[in-house]
Structure 1
Amino acid sequence: MISVISKVITNPTLVSVAQNTNASVASETVLKSVGRPGFILIDNDIDPATKKYAAAKEFLYQATCLAIYMALVGPVFKNGAFKIAKKYIYKGEEGFNKFHSMKEYLAYHKLADKSQTNRVASLSKDHSQFKFDHDKLREDLINNKTPEKYSHIKGAIELGSTIGSVLGLAILAPQVSHAFIHPALKFLGLEEKHPKVDRQIPQPELKHVDTKA
């Protein structure tokens, strides 16, 4: 089972798709939170009150999606996937044992993506909290034109990001927004509080039958 997961994580196509997908989620959600309400507001076929209500509701929903994505995907799912892969899937294997945290690996990967000249210049500034002075990481970044990027680590992180995006945006966001949006709209005065009407089920009228006839 673990070997199957390892093959999935290290698949270059999956990593590429995951990177492209998750890189666009935040920006797409931001654009939706601005574009959709804006489109509603410029629609002249809708009366002003309805436009304000619909635009505010759409903005709040997209803002909720963005908040869930920022709060869960990075801190929880991506970091969790790194820890699980390091502890169980790739336990003791080359790569994961060189990095103490997901942030350290991502900082290393960002440098490894740069050209050798820019990479050396970035390391010489020494502003990063990560010095990469262990396991020959710094030496690899400086001396090798194409340093090892440890694609299996990147694959594990992006897989966690994809799972987090699906669970957060498709399952959790609708539940949270349902509990949050309507009180927010009422607070903004865009949704009136309607008194509950006691609806009684009408009882069938019993007709008196004359049994003496």
Structure 2
Amino acid sequence: MIGPLTKALTNPTLTTLSQNTNASVATETVLKSIGRPGFILIDNDIDPDTKKYAAAKEFLYQATCLLVYAALVVPVFKRGAFKLAKNKIFKNSPEFQKFKSLKNYESYRKYAAKSLDSRKLLLQQHKLQEKFTPEIEQELITAEKPDNYDLVKGVIEFGSITGSVLGLAVLAPQLSHAVIHPALRFIGMEEKTKKNHNNNTKKSINTNA
């Protein structure tokens, strides 16, 4: 069970998929938050008040999706995946024992990406702030290319992918329903739209009469 799971999580394809997913989700959501309201506003077949309401509603929905993704998906799911793997699934893995937390691993990755001379200098400057294990610190100051610790990296990326899917498919729609209508009422658009709808209904009734 653990063997095939480890193999899947350390597969380079997962890294590519995670990077592509994160980039695609962020880019697509930003473009939707701008493009969809824009297309609604230039539609001349919709009356001005209705299209302003529809554009504002669409913008708020896409903004909520982006907020959920940035504030919840990335930090919560990545951190949760790391903790679950370290404390339960891979609790006996030497790789996970070298890092206390997701933040500790990500800090290691930032140092590891730099040249050896830069690493030595930075570690000397930040000696009191960084809390690496002696083994990790030794690796950073001696290895030209420090280990990626692919299992740890794979677990974090899997958490990111899972969070992207669940966050946008499940959490964002639920949260948007709780946020959008109060926000529209706060800026006075929902009440205005209702009044216009009632006025149009009355006009239609009077015309038919």
TM-score under structure 1 length normalisation: 0.79
Residue in 2 aligned with 1:86? Answer: 86
For residues 45 and 122 of structure 1, the distance between their equivalents in structure 2, rounded to whole angstroms, comes to 61
Q: Equivalents in 2 of 1:42, 1:130: separation in Å?
A: 53
1:187 corresponding residue in structure 2? 186
Change (3 A) 1:127 1:138: closer
In structure 2, C-alpha distance between the alignment counterparts of 1:62 and 1:185, rounded to whole Å: 14
Matched, 1:140 2:165: no
Deviations 1:110-160 (A, max 9, x none): 22122334333433432883242x232122112211011101101101101
Q: Which contiguous aligned blocks of 4+ residues in structure 1 show a shift greater than 6 angstroms?
A: none
- Give 1:112's aligned amino acid: A
Which residue does 1:204 correspond to in 2? Answer: none
* Equivalent position amino acid for 2:190 in 1: E
Q: CA deviation at 1:56?
A: 0.8
Q: Following TM superposition, by how much is the alpha carbon of 1:89 offset from its aligned partner in structure 2, in angstroms?
A: 2.4
Quick check: 30-39 or 139-148, which moved more?
A: 30-39
Aligned counterparts, 1:9-88, within 5 A: 9-43=9-43, 46-88=46-88
Amino acid of the residue matched to residue 25 of structure 2? V
Q: How big is the shift at 1:29? A: 2.7
Q: Tell me which residue corresponds to 1:149.
A: 148
| Distance change in 2, residues 1:126/1:28 (3 Å) | farther
Structure 1 unaligned blocks of 5 or more: 196-213
Task: State the structure with more CA Rg.
Answer: 1
1:28 to 1:160, Cα distance in 2 relative to 1, 3 A: same
Q: Distance in 1 between matches of 2:19 and 2:129?
A: 24
Distance in 2 separating the partners of 1:102 and 1:89: 16
Percent identity, aligned pairs only, is 61
1:106 aligns with: 106
Counterpart contact for 1:115–1:145, Cα < 8 Å? yes
Q: 1:113 to 1:128 in 2, by over 3 A?
A: farther
- Post-superposition offset of 1:84: 1.1
The CA deviation at 1:27 is 4.7
Q: Distance in 1 between matches of 2:169 and 2:97?
A: 34
Which has more helix, going by share of residues? 2
TM-score scaled to structure 2, two decimals? Answer: 0.80
SS in structure 2 at match of 1:68 = helix
